[in-house]
Amino acid sequence: MKPIFIASLLLTLFPVSFGALWNLEKICECELGYNALAYNNYGCWCGLGGSQKPIDGVDRCCMMHDKCYDRAVDKKLCITTSFEYIDDFRWQCTNNTAACEASTNACAAALCACDKAVVDCWKQYEKPRSKPKCNGIRRLLQLVDSALEHFEH
């Protein structure tokens, strides 16, 4: 229920496609064969926000992805941090390999490269069987998120 509410809220606030988030999910399915949500709330960097030292290689991949998106904004390829989550880009999946299509939209090209890079990074590791948590404020946010999720059921 919560993901549906969040998606509805974001669609209301940003009446465009969930390009980047949708594409990351699909690139993950193309190359890894499973849902990118396997990484949500993993460690200090996977999911919303990110801080502290990554707890392991998987978390380091997520940190790299966050910083890749940040660079796209810093270089003014993308307008704002929130825009990077909704800007759409085109890519193709052939034989379990994703390939970004050439684009005249610099933001879309950068986001596709970031998403492809994080999935390639995740390939080095097994699919997470559990979600180790981060300490500090990130952990507090994860606990609040879990409590809200429990409250909704």
Q: Residue 144: which CATH number? A: 1.20.90.10
Judge whether 153 counts as a catalytic residue: no
pLDDT of residue 135: 78
The alpha helices in 14-92, defined as continuous H runs, are 19-32, 57-74
115 catalytic residue (yes or no): yes
Is residue 98 helix, strand or coil?
strand
What pLDDT sits at residue 81?
54
Pairwise CA distance, residues 99 & 62, whole Å = 20
Within a domain: residue 96? yes
Tell me which residue range forms the domain holding 33.
Answer: 19-41+51-152
Q: Is residue 4 part of a domain?
A: no
pLDDT of residue 5: 40
* Catalytic-role residue among 65, 70, 87, 150: 65
CA distance 24 to 22: 6
What confidence score (pLDDT) does residue 16 get? 36
For helices 106-122 and 57-74, the axis angle rounded to 10 degrees is: 170
Residue 90 included in any domain: yes
Using 70 as the pLDDT threshold, list the residues of the chain that sit under it. Answer: 1-21, 80-88, 136-153
N-term to C-term CA, the chain: 8
Residue/partner pairs of 106-111 with CB below 8 Å, 24 or more apart: 106/77, 107/72, 107/77, 107/78, 107/79, 107/83, 108/19, 109/77, 110/68, 110/71, 110/72, 110/75, 110/77, 110/78, 111/19, 111/20, 111/23, 111/69, 111/72, 111/78, 111/84, 111/87
User: Is 19 annotated as belonging to a binding site?
Assistant: no
Specify the pLDDT at position 136.
65
**How high is the pLDDT of residue 143?**
61
Q: What is the pLDDT of residue 47?
A: 87
Look up the pTM and report it.
0.73
The residue from 56, 88, 115, 120 that is catalytic is: 115
Is 66 annotated as contributing to ligand binding?
A: yes
User: Within 10 A of 144 (CB to CB), how many other CB atoms are there?
Assistant: 10
Q: How many domains in the chain? A: 1
| Annotated binding residue 47 | yes
Residue 75, domain member (yes or no): yes
